[in-house]
Amino acid sequence: MNPLKTIPNISFESEENEKDFECLNLSKLFAKIKGGLSHNPNLPHRVGFFALLIVTNGQGTHQIDLKEYPLKKGTVLKIAKGQVHAFQENPNYEGFLILFTEEFVLNYFSKSSIEFISHLYNYHINEPLVEEGNLNEVFLWSWNTTTPRQKEIL
């Protein structure tokens, strides 16, 4: 049996009934994983959406396309639509997972932003691992200064 055929394909589904975008606290996600999901996120699975894994504390690893990437505070990991990834079992890090669809990008971004995002997520020319602490700080600042109404829209 071809092992690639057994890798589940995961589509975007939001528990918050969001159509194309969701920001998850990793501690809540890890609790859901322990409680059981329709697939095992600790095993390789292919995503039909884009993701940013942002580590705010701790350390660990994450697998993308069967390659392990080290995670630590300040790490941002880009996961492109169609890539295969897996969370480590019993993770020892905290942060956020931002999920968004291609439709979200097309509906809410300018053409130049779409080109930038396409380049950013092109895993043939860019590594998925970003260790720029500044990105993490900007995200945390923007999330913490976002009003409840703005978060509702996001």
pLDDT in tens, 107-154: 887 777 767 677 666 666 767 777 665 555 555 655 565 555 545 544
- Domain map (residue ranges) of the chain: 3-135
Overall average pLDDT of the 12-25 stretch:
80
**So what's the pLDDT on residue 1?**
47
pLDDT class of 9 with cuts at 50, 70, 90: very high
CA 71 to chain CA centroid, Å, is 13
The pLDDT tens digits of the residues spanning 27-83 come to 888 887 777 777 788 899 999 999 999 999 999 999 999 899 999 998 999 999 999
Beta strands in the chain (DSSP E): 9-10, 21-25, 45-47, 50-64, 67-72, 76-79, 84-87, 92-100, 129-130
Hey, which residues does 45 pair with through a beta bridge? 85
Name the fold adopted by 3-135: Jelly Rolls (2.60.120)
The pLDDT value given to residue 38: 72
Contacts of 95 (CB under 8 A, 6+ apart): 26, 53, 54, 55, 56, 57
pLDDT for 62: 96
pTM of the model: 0.76
pLDDT for the residue numbered 5: 65
pLDDT given for residue 139 in this prediction: 58
Residue 143, pLDDT score: 57
Q: For residue 21, what are the β-bridge partners? A: 100
